Amino acid sequence: MTQPRTLLVIDVGGTSVKFAASVDARPQDYVRQFSSVALREADPVQALASMTRQVLAESGLQPEVIVSTVPGFLDVDEDRVLFAGNILALNGRRLASELCALVGLPVVLERDAVLALIGETVAGAARGARRALGLFFGTGVGAAYVEDGRPFRGAGWALEIGHMPFKGAGRQLEGMRKDVLEAYVSGRALQMMADRHGVAIERVFVERDSRPALDRDLDEFVRDQAFAIGTAVTLFSPEVTLLGGGLCEMAGFPRQRLAELVQANAPYAETGRPMQLRWAELGWRSALHGAPLAVQAHRQRQAAAV
């Protein structure tokens, strides 16, 4: 089966929608970014189609396939978005088939965390790892587990860790159940903390030393991250644990402290296994490295289903 040479890759996030391209499995320099607000204020698929047309007109790209991330639960048909907590208007939409009909190109969907982790195993910090667990802390919280290049999916939407029941302190984010992990360790949760302390979110970790109350809240935030990571490590026993997402890239983010807490709260001492904790290197561009493999795997699944 001939693989497409040119892919248009769309990274749909809670804050922004980024467009880029891969040609012969090599990421290109072209990048175009839009605000995710457009997906909330109008029909999200129509808005995404409008962005796509604009990108194709501006860039001159002639992709054979579009690969788009999904920031949430994706149905087993690889078409219907079951639930996207940060872009609720996508819920229930058959994103692949609807977008295909609007732009005239085949569309392959993949969970954002899966595409990010595959990209890191191909060209990033998880290169060479046969069994890799990735946790990504951004606007939401995503996770994926890949073994020999194949993502673990369970019965469909496994490892939507941001929706994991957590802590029971009564916190709730708009559009989501009470007391899920995202209410405690996501970018949305951090924004609420920043607002409460009157600090710009990009400076919360920088200013913690001069604000004792903020420092206490951030210490709890990082401990909660460590508990979530330790839980996932215990369940999947990965060879490599990869941490990434926009929060981990913020100025002053306490990477060393988080690593120490993960070491203390995952069963490394009991098992005698060393902790292989790595930090994502590619950012959102990991999707560009993962996209060709996602298309290949999608086509294989389609062929097997015939």
| Secondary structure of 220-278 in HEC code, one letter for each residue | HHHHHHHHHHHHHHHHHCCCEEEEECHHHHCCCCCHHHHHHHHHHHCCHHHHCCCCCEE
- pLDDT 10s digit of each residue in the chain, 306 long? 566 799 999 999 989 999 999 999 999 999 999 999 999 999 999 999 999 999 999 999 999 999 999 999 999 999 999 999 889 999 999 999 999 999 999 999 999 999 999 999 999 999 999 999 999 999 999 999 999 989 999 988 899 999 999 999 999 999 899 999 999 999 999 999 999 999 999 999 999 999 999 999 999 999 999 999 999 999 999 999 999 999 999 999 999 999 999 999 999 999 999 999 999 999 999 999 999 999 998 888 888 876
* 146, amino acid identity: V
- Give the HSE-up count for residue 148: Cα atoms under 13 Å, Cβ half-sphere: 0
What's this model's pTM, rounded to 2 decimal places?
Answer: 0.94
The Cα–Cα gap between 245 and 262 comes to 17
For the sheet with 6-12, list strands across it. 26-35, 16-23, 6-12, 65-70, 107-111
Per-residue CA distances from 46 to 52, 99, 186 (Å) = 10, 8, 28
184 φ, ψ (degrees, to nearest 5): -115, -30
Secondary element (H or E) of residue 23: strand 16-23
Q: Is 301 exposed, middle or buried (0-12, 13-18, 19+ CB in 10 A)?
A: exposed
Which pLDDT value is given to residue 265?
92
